[in-house]
Amino acid sequence: MQITLCDLKKPNFRGYNSIDMKTEKDNPKGQTSFNQTRLNIGEETCDLYAYKETTIRTIAFWTLTVLTLGLYRLLAYWIKSWLIKIRFEPVSHDHADYVLVKDTHGTKTIKRIFTTVCEKGQAFFVRPTRNGTLEKLNHIRYFTYRKIKYIWYEKEKEWINPADLDSIAPFNSYKNCAADVIGLGGEEVVSRRNIYNSNTLILLLTPILVILVKEVLSPFYVFQALSVGLWYSDNYAYYASVIVIITVGSAGYAVWATRSQEKRIRNMVGDTVTVMIRRNGQDISVDASELVPHDIMILPSHNFVLPCDCLLVNGTVIVNEAMLTGESVPVTKASLKEADECGPDIRLSSEHNRHTLFCGTTLLQTRNFKGQPVMAKVIRTGFSTLKGQLVRSILYPRPVDKDALKDMIVFIGVLGSIALCGFAYTVGMMISRKESLKHIIIRSLDIITIVVPPALPAAMSVGVMNANSRLRKKKIFCTSPTTINVCGQINVACFDKTGTLTEDGLDFCCLRAVTVNGDGKAEFTTEFEDLDPAKLSGQKANLNVIIAAASCHSLTRIDGFLHGDPLELILVEKSGWTIEEAVNSDEETQDFDNVQPTVLRPPPEHAAYHPENHEYSVIKQHPFNSGLQRMSVIISTPSEHSAHEMMVFTKGSPEMIASLCLPETLPKNYMDIVDEYAQRGYRLIAVACKTVHMNFARALKTPRNIMESDLEFLGLIVMENRLKDITLKIINELSIANIRCVMVTGDNLLTAMSVARECGIIRPTKKAYLITHSKTEKDDLGRSKLYITESVSSSETDIDTDSEVKAFDKKVSLQRSTYQMAIAGPTYTVITHEYPELLDRVTAMCDVYARMAPDQKAQLIGALQKIGAKVSMCGDGANDCAALKAAHAGISLSQAEASIAAPFTSNVPDISCVPEVIKEGRCALVTSYAVSKYMAAYSLNEFLSVMLLYNDGTNISDGQFLYIDLVLITLVALFLGNTGASKKLSASPPPSRLATSSFYFSVLGQLALNIATQVPAYVIVRSQSWYVPNPEELDNTTTMIGTAVFYTSCMMYLGYAFIYSKGYPYRRSIFTNWLLIAIIFVIGLVNFVMLFTNISFLMNLMGFIKIPSWDMRIILLLISLSGVFISLLYEHFFVEKIIAVHFENYLKNRRLRKNDPTIPAYEKILVSIGNSPLWFEREITNYRKETMESKC
């Protein structure tokens, strides 16, 4: 199971927290797997490796560190395996001092194992077990990973978080102790605190020095430091100083960003509060940080933020869970006493959330038992609470786009290989010339700093920074800027329906009540546009439907105002009824042991249609449960005939209510009417009731499933949920751009299909098919039967599965199917568990997912990612938190704290933010690639210039180096990313990887063109009669050949700014980036001045020697301009047209034919299924055949 932010599910350690333990006997060849365990932590599977530190290994490690002047220690800091191999010895977990934690993303963390021994006179340690009991110990071994404490269980050979065992304890163990009103003793509190730590989410700010050290110890900062040291030793102080300033600024910004993030999270967590608890039978006031599991907390009457997760022991509580769900709707929590009876094997799970109060939610109101305070039993504290999980998900986000990091490493490796060739050539050449060792070291190392530019990471981040700035101007805020580049690869956009695609509120459309015809059969009345009993009586409708609309809700009056679900508020307002919450009095509670009832009164004009007392009392409420798809209330309706007459009113989904009603009370055309409204996009609420004769005590204790059975159907309430004005336009924009749009909603399947048709997710030119399952029919393998039907405007037609599958193009290419599919959550669950062979294909083809629970939404996002899709998720925060967090790019339209789980938050509450995020992501992505190409081309161009001059015994002057590195390169690279995103989304996505053939053809091709440009200029100048040979001294950089090479290369540098500033289709034209144009113009003008004038100041500053021939200056200009022109043609026509389009498509098709694992699974699926949905039946048949054959 997964721990989601909205739907808490704790792991079952028998399967979820599985351990694969091996002893040394299992490894006769000396393998070390005996030191490995496996642990599922939330959504991740981590491998744990046990190690012990020995004296010999420690001495060896520090000796190696000293001998390498600290280099080995630095490498061991970067590569954990180097640290492990030398310093630690693998052992079993029983004897380990350290544990290496390797998560699913490959991130390795070394944690120390601590042992705490109970000293004489101290309380024993107690730790929970799986059966809900406590085990006494005199010592514990533990380590802390990502704020959670894991304790070693010797018998089970497992590392376990004690809070997880509490969370999966038998539910009866909590229910049975609900009567405990004494609380914990002092010794028990101390013992538990030693196991669970304090109940606090307070985050200590990391010292700035620690943040700075971690930042500057990254490989690129270390490389920059070495480069700067080399430049200072070579008297290249100006540029070195500039790099120092940029580096210090970059590091300072990183430190500031990290500290700001920590402060923001700490502010979100809030301060501790004072709570009232019961210990040893006495009520005492303590700081919330002192709470431990199984403490009994006494809840205040209102306005209280819960400091922990707890179970409600008695009374009723109304809370606002907006912090967790993003939905500011009061939720009613029932006490453990109202929980249904369950067996000993039933564990505490999300099914019991209606009894659970979560940390961080706001207590709005408590309703007391007579003379008793409302109490709750603490079950989770600190970072084990639901809010703690949310905070940890922010503190430890999953790595973003690891492929980009790998590509960057490969890119640096390619440049490094070129640098090593130059390094070797320089060393050999200088040794042959018998140069000094210092010159050889400085000049050869200088080659590496030229080819691998230290400023590359900073230059590549410019595009992301500018994109983030533009998004802020559009009121889209990003908490994780590194996610922006990933947004440029989005090819699947998922949307919640209500509040995202459609308006937040619902409008009452009509009521279809039920009447009895002359044959005694139920039938629907005509549509009623209001809840007027007089009009309903005219068609002899059951007037209880109005009572159901007015009473079956979870609304509550807080500070004099009604609060609750907007839909319920609309119905109550439409009915005209009033709601009063009675005051506490003996008369109102003496007949039943329950909370005070809510009193409902019809409007005076409707008095003739109701009993003489004109009021109804709600004595019990069964809150809405998404799994049950319904809610109900028990209404006291005393009459002169019976003092104990009550009615049960239930409302919920049409399918669920129909299954609970007596068949004779349902109209014959029930499902036809339901489907008719659903296909028109209306939201339907079915209501039913039944009369019961029992006393209050019995009514309160009767199980919910009994009270909600054998109901009488009353009618359908039809609500309208309109599309937002912008929705259709945005969906069309995304669809035209070949970005697949997916609806993920909790609504009815047919309603979702109708809205999907209306907003364009289901395209008007395509057929739509519904995948459903049978609850009763099974196939030969005992699996629920699946059906696929074509969805049309008024009915559904079964597909002719006997027809032949249309042949599709044999040429391997990615096809756009001519149909779309839809599925409901229950059917998706059936496919997940019973038809795993279909899951990937269904995930790739279905565009509408209805009746999806919060955890199913997150599972769907994971399934899409599994088949290689880059997924965005846009939701308003209501039940979308887990999906927002799981997506590559989660975009929240909610301002609630739950939106922190999403990297993007839009202040504009519609989906117009989605294409904007994708546009800016594409712009940032191609800008990063363009800057990479630009920096690589500049480095190789400068490398070539230096190698030519080294061959001639000279070098570029410091002035020339400074002009190239600082003015030409740094300024251009900084403003190259200022070009804005294109206004239109292109149908073809940008390259998703840096390591593509077009990228390397571009970089290496430009190197070849540089050679074809600089070498002729070098040769022509040397062949002139007026050419003065270079002095013999290597450090003499004021040379004629150096001047000529500089003139030629400068135009190439400037030309690269145009070549790599491509606009369409992902960015705007370079001419919209007026700062870059101005810089290019000014630098170009300066280049012309330096070439065609002999200003002594510039000659001395740049280290020029006058070229006496004006004709030669013109020749150098023509050579450089020709080089720029040819480079432009090469990049635009050869690289972008031939390589990027034809050659890469050829390679892709070839990989598809060979079923290459590098091709995303969804592309293979789309190729294999063709344009007919008959693959569905074919796959089931093939799987059944293979299974039956294997059994034979």
Pairing of strands 492-495, 740-744: parallel
Which residue is catalytic, options 496, 532, 855, 876? 496
Which residue, 137, 112, 259, 269, is CA-closest to 195?
137
Mean pLDDT comparison of 112-126, 428-442, 804-818, highest-scoring range: 428-442
Q: In the structure, what pLDDT confidence band is assigned to residue 448 with cuts at 50, 70 and 90? A: confident
**Whole-number percent of the chain with pLDDT over 70:** 85
The 10s digit of each residue's pLDDT in 309-334 is: 888 888 888 887 766 655 556 777 87
| Residue 430 contacts residue 446 (beta carbons within 8 Å) | no
State the pLDDT at residue 17: 35
Residues of the chain with CATH 1.20.1110.10: 402-471+921-1152
Given a cut of 60, is residue 594 above it in pLDDT?
A: no
CATH number 3.40.470.10 given to 492-503+724-802+815-887+1171-1191:
no
Q: How many residues does the chain have?
A: 1192
Q: Is the pLDDT of residue 290 over 80?
A: yes
Plot region of 157 (φ>0 → left; ψ -120 to 50 → alpha; else → beta) = left
DSSP H helices in 661-808:
670-679, 696-701, 704-707, 727-736, 749-759
- pLDDT value of position 178: 61
Nearest to 455 by CA among 217, 216, 224, 214: 224
Q: Could you name the CATH architecture of 507-538+583-720?
A: 3-Layer(aba) Sandwich (3.40)
Question: Residue range 417-439: average pLDDT?
Answer: 87
Q: How far apart are CA 464 and CA 484, in angstroms?
A: 7
DSSP conformation letters of 169-191: SBHHHHHGGGG--S-B-HHHHHH
Residues 232, 237, 243, 244: what is their CA dihedral angle, to the nearest 10 degrees? 70
Contact 558, 364 (CB under 8 A): yes
Amino acid at 393: S
Condensed to tens digits (0 to 9), the pLDDT of residues 829-840 reads 889 888 888 899
Q: How far apart are CA 749 and CA 533, in angstroms?
A: 32
More confident residue, 337 or 1089: 1089
Q: Sorting pLDDT into bands at 50, 70 and 90, what band is 810?
A: very low
Point out the least confidently predicted range of 567-571, 656-660, 831-835.
567-571
- Residue type, position 657, single letter: I
210 CB-contact burial (10 Å; exposed 0-12 / middle 13-18 / buried 19+): exposed
**Token code pair at residue 127:** 């730790």
Tell me, what's the pLDDT at 862?
Answer: 87
402-471+921-1152: CATH topology is Calcium-transporting ATPase, transmembrane domain (1.20.1110)
The reply to whether 779 belongs to the active site is no
Task: Kindly report each contact of residues 214-221 with a partner whose C-beta sits within 8 Å and lies 24 or more positions away, as own/partner.
Answer: 215/251, 215/254, 215/255, 215/258, 216/251, 217/74, 217/77, 219/78, 220/454, 220/456, 220/457, 221/247, 221/251
Cβ within 8 Å of residue 549, ≥6 positions away = 511, 531, 571, 572, 574, 575, 687, 717
Helices (H), 552-598: 566-575, 586-589
| DSSP letter for each residue of 1089-1153 | HHHH---HHHHHHHT------HHHHHHHHHHHHHHHHHHHHIIIIIIIIIIIIIIHHHHHHHHHH
> In which band, very low, low, confident or very high, does the pLDDT at 1134 lie, cut at 50, 70 and 90?
very high
pLDDT band per the 50, 70, 90 thresholds, residue 494: very high
Q: How far apart are alpha carbons 998 and 866 in whole angstroms? A: 27
Model confidence over 982-1033: pLDDT tens digits? 999 998 888 877 778 888 899 899 999 999 999 999 899 888 888 877 655 4
Higher pLDDT, 106 or 914: 914
Q: Is the pLDDT of residue 634 over 80?
A: yes
| Tens of pLDDT, residues 171-213 | 666 666 666 677 788 777 888 887 888 888 877 788 888 888 8
Q: Is the pLDDT of residue 165 over 90?
A: no
Output the pLDDT for position 24.
37
Pairing verdict, β 556-558 and 316-320: unpaired
Is 194 in a helix, a strand, or coil?
helix
Residue 646's φ and ψ, nearest 5 degrees, are: -135, 160
Under a CB-based contact definition with an 8 Å cutoff, are residues 929 and 994 in contact?
yes
More confidently predicted of 1036 and 454: 454
Range from 400-409, 516-525, 657-666, 1015-1024 carrying the lowest mean pLDDT: 400-409
CA distance 989 to 739: 9
**For residue 366, how many other CB atoms are within 10 A of its CB?**
23
* Strand, helix or coil for residue 689: strand
Q: Where are the alpha helices (DSSP H) in 825-966?
A: 825-834, 836-845, 854-866, 881-886, 913-951, 958-962
Give the pLDDT score at 666: 92
| Backbone angles phi and psi of 282, in degrees to 5 | -115, 140
- Among 277-286, 587-596, 687-696, 784-793, which stretch is predicted with the lowest mean pLDDT? 587-596
881 or 683, which is more confident: 683
pLDDT (tens digit, 9 = 90+) per residue, 44-62?
778 899 999 888 988 998 9
pLDDT of 802: 33
Residues 558-567 have a mean pLDDT of 75
> Across residues 1115-1139, what is the average pLDDT?
91
Judge contact between 644 and 623, C-beta under 8 A: no
For residues 101 and 118, is the Cβ–Cβ distance under 8 A?
Answer: no
In 10 A of CB 333, how many CB atoms? Answer: 24
Give me the residue label for tokens 């004779």. 664
**Where in the chain is CATH 3.40.50.1000?**
492-503+724-802+815-887+1171-1191
The three-class DSSP label of residue 883 is helix
Instruction: Give the Cβ contact number of residue 954 at 10 Å.
Output: 24
In contact, 261 and 162? CB cutoff 8 Å:
no
Closest to 144 measured CA to CA, from 163, 117, 165, 119: 163
Look at residue 28 and tell me whether its pLDDT is greater than 70: no
Does residue 674 register a pLDDT over 70? Answer: yes
Average pLDDT estimate for 56-73 = 89
Confidence band, pLDDT 50/70/90 cuts, at residue 372: confident
Query: Residues 527, 510: contact at Cβ < 8 Å?
Result: yes
Question: What is the C-alpha to C-alpha distance for residues 852 and 832, in angstroms, rounded to an integer?
Answer: 13
pLDDT of 1 above 50: no
Q: What would the mean pLDDT of 257-279 be, rounded to a whole number?
A: 79
Mean pLDDT of 338-365: 70
Position 612 scores a pLDDT of 62
pLDDT over 70 (residue 1099): yes
* Mean pLDDT score, 644-667: 88
pLDDT over 90 at 493, yes or no: yes
Average pLDDT over residues 529-554: 84
CB 277 within 8 A of CB 291: yes
Dihedral angle of Cα 542, 546, 549, 550, to the nearest 10 degrees? -140
pLDDT of residue 806: 32
Quote the pLDDT of residue 112.
Answer: 92
Indicate the helix (H) or strand (E) that contains 1008.
Answer: helix 997-1022
Nearest to 197 by CA among 264, 291, 107, 280: 291
Distances in Å between the alpha carbon of 319 and those of 257, 304, 386?
34, 9, 15
Rounded to whole angstroms, the Cα distance separating 689 from 646 reads 10
> What is the distance between the alpha carbons of residues 763 and 910, in angstroms, rounded to a whole number?
21
What's the mean pLDDT when you consider all of the chain? 80
Model confidence at 792, in pLDDT bands (50, 70, 90)? low
Alpha-helix residue ranges (DSSP H) falling in 3-136: 55-67, 71-78, 80-87
> How many Å from the N-terminal Cα to the C-terminal Cα in the chain?
34
Residue 797 has pLDDT above 50, yes or no: no
What CA–CA distance (Å, rounded) separates 37 from 46? 9
Kindly report, residue by residue over 707-750, the tens digit of the pLDDT.
888 899 999 999 887 888 899 999 999 998 999 999 998 777 87
Cα distances from 787 to residues 220, 654, 743, 769, 1077, in angstroms, run 57, 21, 21, 10, 61
Secondary structure of residue 613 in the 3-state scheme: coil
Span 454-460, mean pLDDT? Answer: 74
The predicted pLDDT at position 471 comes to 92
Q: What is the pLDDT of residue 866?
A: 87
For residue 618, the surrounding DSSP H or E stretch is strand 616-625
Whether cis (ω within 30° of 0) applies to the bond prior to 1065 is yes
